[in-house]
Amino acid sequence: MAHVQIQNLKKSYGAVQVIHDIDVGIDEGEFVALVGPSGCGKSTLLRMIAGLEDVTGGTIRLNDRVINDVAPKDRDIAMVFQSYALYPHMTVEENMGFALKLARVPQAEIKARVAEAAATLNLTEYLDRHPRQLSGGQRQRVAMGRSIVRSPSVFLFDEPLSNLDAKLRVRMRTEIKALHQRLGATSVYVTHDQIEAMTMADKIVVMRAGRIEQVGAPLELYDDPANVFVATFIGSPAINLLSGRYVERDGAGAVDLGHGVVMEAPQVGAEPGQPCLFGIRPEHLEIAESADAADFTVEVIEPTGSETIITGRIAGQEVQMSQRERTDLKPGDVLRLRPAPGQVRLFDAETEARLK
Amino acid sequence: MRKMTLRTRILMNLANLACIAFLILPLVPVILGAFQSERGLQADVHALLPVEYTLDNFRLILSGGSDKGTLFQDISYLPNSVTWFPNAFLNSVIVGALVTVGVLVLASLTAFTVTRLNVRWTGWLMQINMISRMVPLIVLMVPLFVVLRGFGLLNSLSGVIITEIGLLLPYAIIILVPYFQQLPKELEESARLDGCTRFTAFIRILLPLCKPALAASGVIMFIISWHELLIPLIIVSKPEVMTVPVVLAGLVSDHFVFFTVMMAICLVGLLPTLLLVLLLQKYLVKGLTAGAVKG
Ligand SMILES: Nc1ncnc2c1ncn2[C@@H]1O[C@H](COP(=O)(O)OP(=O)(O)OP(=O)(O)O)[C@@H](O)[C@H]1O
Ligand SMILES: [Mg+2]
């Protein structure tokens, strides 16, 4: 069990800097998800923790010891690769026992520990097979098993589920989470799937272009995004962002969306008339016949079974809302919508930072 | 694969057979010649099959000239090199084996360095190496002789071995580099996290996966070394360090040509390469076609 502290971490490839001054702490037993769009440096950060990439600047500490220059083999860190990287010339059993064999663990103990991990992962009947004789999901489990048998200080995962089909991905997601709850091992999990991050992680680190945008618990990021990027990255369907001007009305905040539509908003430290973005999640729009509701013209209706996503326009701007109940709405219908109390988030139109 | 019409299939098979025949047919007269006497060979040049069979050619070379049999008992002159054949055979095996092992060790280390360690100047070294190999060997012979004399390596097997390793290394590298390139880097990275150093990851993960390529280039190196004549001919003048091709060359002179003895030597000389190919057959096809088809 271990904790990791990353300070001012930088990485450059030649003249190109891909990681800019990253600061993040990973507590003992915590499951941290690194999310962000493709190319934002998630893998690079993970590989630096593993010791597979040189550190350009800053420090990485494992249990208060600086490990910048420690060889990967001496870090006691295990990693599950996106491609699984199973050794093709070894059986499942040899794959899983390889690290222990290198550590000169007695043969009998290796066998016992591999058998135990294989039982956990339902791999017992495949121990004698070679990786090429396994399905994608089984390979994925072998890759997990190879890490588990070592009981390392830290687990690293680089998009371990992205090669699986949708159904299996959901099942493995649950299995990995259950495994983490049982082993309680410190884990860093890279994904660009925000649902994976939301469902599995204790803490999410949102990255963009080599910088951290926000760190927090999944629901914290959902409820309290620091900027437009985080707000749109977390949550599906994505948050609605309507442009308008901040106004004050009866001593309370509001946003003028144009076309004579003014919607209630939290009171924030902004000048009246300042351009801003009015953020409201689709699930937080409710149908109401009150004075503070706005006209919503229905354009597209998408039933998913569990909910219905309705796309339309408020004040000429595209808005999505989602609804639990079945509906018999048709395109062209007009509803009156208002935000659920306390669910509006305002952002500066220029800096895209949250207005509070 | 695309489905072929019957006609193209027949044509392809015929072409294939023609290639095989072109390679194998010369062996037939060699086999026939090795089992008969010089007189029988010259008697009727139009006859397909020999009039008499004898094992005396083999007796002669395998005994190093002491067992002359009926064929050679009253012959007035035997070239000296015949008496050295068993020894030359052993020399050839030693040279072939050590050259093959040496080339494979150095070539796989080179391929590892070039494809895995990001050192820029190694790429340049590779290019220089390849270009220098385009210089015909014969041009290098005089300088080579002088250099080897300087190191006291003339008339020694080590001189032959070192020279042949230098000559063959680039070819093995050309085969191995693309093979290394197509193996995913994550395998070694995973091994390094599992407890390997870069070097042990190379030994325990990369090399076992390269078996087909190593087998293929190993066989090619052995065959080239096995029939290399020029290098030992220039470096070696003492009979005890001669190799098989040098012995063969010694059987041809202005005054005599021992055809049947030469053919027997050729046949015996085929055995080691044949054995090697049979042993490694499993890997050879894989290695020589590697990269041709993905997956
Ligand atoms: N060896 C390298 N040389 C130069 N640039 C590199 C190298 N490796 C990565 N980069 C750059 O670093 C940036 C971050 O790459 P990284 O692989 O960490 O992205 P990522 O967040 O993992 O993306 P993805 O979700 O697509 O896996 C990218 O812009 C990439 O082009
Ligand atoms: Mg990545």
Q: Are B221 and B103 in contact (CB under 8 A)?
A: yes
Do the beta carbons of residue A55 and residue A28 sit within 8 Å? no
**A332 or B294: whose pLDDT is higher?**
A332
From the CB of A211, is ligand 1 less than 6 Å away?
no
Produce one character per residue of A176-192: b if its CB has 16 or more CB atoms within 10 Å, e if not: beebbeeeebbbbbbbb
Which of the given ranges, B127-141, B183-197, B274-288, has the highest pLDDT on average? B183-197
Which pLDDT score, from 0 to 100, does residue A33 have?
96
CB contact set of A168 (below 8 Å; sequence gap of 6+): A136, A137, A161
Does B293 fall in a domain? no
Q: For residue B196, which residues of chain A lie inside 8 Å, CB to CB? A: 73, 102
pLDDT of residue B289: 59
Mean pLDDT throughout B121-134?
81
Mean pLDDT to the nearest integer, B108-116: 91
| Residue B123 distance to chain A (closest CA, Å) | 18
Residue B67 carries which side chain, given as an amino acid letter? D
DSSP H helical ranges for B65-210: 69-72, 80-83, 85-116, 120-132, 137-150, 157-181, 185-194, 198-201, 207-209
- Band (pLDDT 50/70/90 cuts) for residue B190 is very high
Residue written as token pair 């993040």: A24
pLDDT for position B123: 79
Alpha carbon separation from A156 to A51, A189, A232, B189 (Å, rounded): 11, 6, 26, 13
**Per-residue pLDDT of chain A in tens (356 residues, 90 and over written 9):** 799 999 999 999 989 999 999 999 999 999 999 999 999 999 999 999 999 999 999 999 999 999 999 999 999 999 999 999 999 999 999 999 999 999 999 999 999 999 999 998 889 999 999 999 999 889 999 999 999 999 899 999 999 998 888 888 898 899 899 989 988 899 999 998 889 999 999 999 999 999 999 999 999 999 999 999 999 999 889 999 999 999 988 778 899 998 888 888 888 888 888 999 999 999 999 998 888 889 999 999 999 888 999 999 999 999 999 988 888 888 999 999 999 988 999 999 999 999 98
Rounded distance between C-alpha atoms, residue B180 and residue B212, angstroms? 11
pLDDT per position as a tens digit, B215-271: 989 999 999 999 899 899 889 888 899 999 998 888 887 777 888 888 999 999 989
The B-side interface with A (CB below 8 A) comprises 184, 186-187, 189-197, 200, 205, 208-209
pLDDT at B174 over 90: no
Give the residue extent of every domain in chain A: 4-233, 240-348
Q: Which ligand is nearest to the CA of A39?
A: 1
Average pLDDT, chain B: 86
Kindly tell me if the per-residue pLDDT of B293 is higher than 70.
no
Provide, as residue numbers in chain A, all residues whose Cβ is less than 8 Å from the Cβ of B187: 85, 87-88
Distance CA B100, CA B79 (A): 31
- Joined tokens for residue A72: 């990967």
Kindly tell me the burial class for residue A109, based on how many C-beta atoms sit within 10 Å of its own C-beta (0-12, 13-18, 19 or more): exposed
| Angle between helical axes of A92-102 and A107-120 (0-180°, round to 10) | 130
Q: Which ipTM was obtained for this model?
A: 0.86
B225: its two tokens: 């070394």
| Fold category of A4-233 in CATH | Rossmann fold (3.40.50)
How many residues appear in chain A? 356
Whether the CB of A89 is below 8 Å from some CB of chain B: the reply is: yes
Residue B26 placed within a domain:
no
Domain count, chain B: 1
Nearest to A348 by CA among A221, A206, A244: A244
Range of the domain at B100: 87-255+268-288
pLDDT score, position B218:
93
Q: Looking at residue B92, which CATH number applies to its domain?
A: 1.10.3720.10
Q: What is the pLDDT of residue A229?
A: 96
> Which band of pLDDT confidence, cut at 50, 70 and 90, is reported for residue B294?
very low
Of A78, A83, A103, the CB nearest to B193: A78
Residue B292 has pLDDT above 50, yes or no: no
Is B167 among the domain residues? Answer: yes
Domain A4-233 matches domain A240-348 at the CATH topology level: no
Q: Does domain A240-348 have CATH number 2.40.50.140?
A: yes
pLDDT tens digits for range A102-122: 999 999 999 999 999 999 888
Residue B1: band (very low, low, confident or very high) from pLDDT cuts 50, 70, 90 = low
Crossing angle of helices B157-181 and B211-226, rounded to 10°: 150
The tokens of B57 are what? Answer: 């050619």
- Closest residue in A to B211 (Cα) is A89
Terminal-to-terminal C-alpha distance of chain B = 14
Beta strands A334-339 and A345-348, pairing class: unpaired
> How confident is the model over B60-65, as a mean pLDDT?
84
Spatial contact of A35 and A204, defined as CB atoms under 8 Å apart: yes
